[in-house]
Chains A and B, each alone.
Chain A
């Protein structure tokens, strides 16, 4: 199946030029580097969105506007509701500390005039019915609002999903650009070796025999470029993962790239080499069919 990759020395001499010479390996290396970074970013965004979604899936908040006095009743009702795993009031100090970041000292301190809502964090069991819990809490404290955390995070999750799709489109565009570059490189190689091809055809070489020479050269160039670009990208991703990405850990409570994502990233250079080989083969065969 892959015997064409192992050409005889005589076959290798038919297409001159040093091994891995020319711009093709560099071009593919750069493309692969960009593709892996973008793909990793896309996968990380998707992973982050998934983890955030999973993290807040069963988490709800009970908000009672200016209702500190009713907090205890609401908390008791929530704890008694079916399917509630845990319910805890957010301490006023914590609320004020949070608000202080935006409103300044006016929000700080127990004696502040700034009215605060009562806030209760609730976690439900996976099979629990949120509407039933909301009804129980509503009966105890009619002014209480039972809000799903995921509803509050919906805009952010939507943005993450959009960015993930943009990354996927960018990866597809880079793959397309790589294929176009391979087409151009192959056409250039065909022009360079036109005389050799004509002689080979005249002597009775088949299209497949001629194509194998170019296919092999492009495949090796693509593999070298792909692996080189991929290794540099992997190095940079490792550096980033060991530092900056960790900041998102608070949100996601886990790693952004799973084993499947890493495996997919490592497959990209090989996929790029296969893509380049197929494109080169199709380009050569198409060009040869234009001749007699």
Chain B
């Protein structure tokens, strides 16, 4: 598949790969290689301009937009710029996915408090994003992305604004989620992070193209039920 914005050139070209269910991927590549664009395709913020795309075993290339919210609820996203709702407290930001999914308020309080405690923000639950540091905002964003136990977690530089100790903790959270069955895709420049995650696979992009010399990304080994599939037209 390929992706272009407006009348510009393709930012992603001839991508053909499958993500294995429950796998852990790092998405790497130089700046401008198309990592964020690929992530947007993964969390259904964009449609490819050519080719086909599928998620959770469903063909979504031409799916009507009304059909997308249920799929989005199965995806957790950590945006590079956090995208927290500025006027909501940390608690309300983290609770948002559960509330949108229609959970009763009694089912929200406990898990959100637990998640905030896990990312070290139990005492900042009522703070609003503008009063939080960059690292704290990032942790709120991560807590929001994982609170609903997504089947696919997409994270854009999730450790970019935190110290080494917190980065390790976040990675631990991501691997723990992965062990529970969540497919994880993390875009990062941090080679240390990749090295610290044994068993992870690499998706490398250069100039909008996938570098997959062995073809492993087209035919993921082990658990064959693909969670994400992108094929050229």
Alpha-carbon separation in the docked complex, A206 to B68 (Å):
9
Report chain A residues within 8 Å CB of B146: none
At the interface, yes or no: B179 with Cβ under 8 Å from chain A?
no
Q: Is the CB–CB distance between A14 and B88 below 8 Å?
A: yes
Do B83 and A198 touch (CB < 8 A)?
Answer: yes
Counting contact residues on chain B (CB < 8 A from A), the size range is 20 to 34
Determine whether the beta carbon of B45 is less than 8 Å from that of A204.
no
Interface string of B153-165 (1 = CB under 8 A from A): 0000000000000
Binding site for A on B (CB under 8 A): 43-47, 65-66, 68-73, 75, 77, 79, 83-88, 92, 95-97, 99-101, 105, 144
Given A289-B65, A292-B46, also A203-B97 (CB < 8 A): yes
Bound Cα distance from A112 to B92, whole angstroms: 94
Q: In the complex, are the beta carbons of B95 and A10 less than 8 A apart?
A: yes
Interface pair A292/B44, CB less than 8 Å apart: yes
Most buried by A among B45, B79, B96, B144: B96
Q: How far is the CB of A262 from chain B (nearest CB, A)?
A: 44
Contact residues in A for B45 (Cβ distance below 8 Å): 202, 292
Whether A8 touches B105, Cβ cut-off 8 Å, given contacts A196-B85, A201-B72, A203-B72, is yes
- How far apart are the CA atoms of A11 and B43 in the complex, in Å? 24
A263 sits at the interface (CB 8 A): no
Say yes or no: A202-B100 contact (C-beta < 8 A), given A10-B92, A10-B105, A196-B85. Answer: no
A residues with CB within 8 A of B: 8, 10-11, 13-14, 16, 195-196, 198-207, 209, 289, 291-292
Q: Is the interface of A mostly helix, strand, loop or mixed?
A: helix
Nearest Cβ on chain A to B101's Cβ, whole angstroms: 7
Expressed in whole angstroms, the minimum distance between the Cβ of A100 and any Cβ of chain B is 77
Contacts of A207 in B (CB 8 A): 66
Name B88's contact: one of A13, A201, A202, A206 (CB within 8 Å). Answer: A13
User: Given A10-B95, A289-B65: A200 and B43 within 8 A (CB)?
Assistant: no
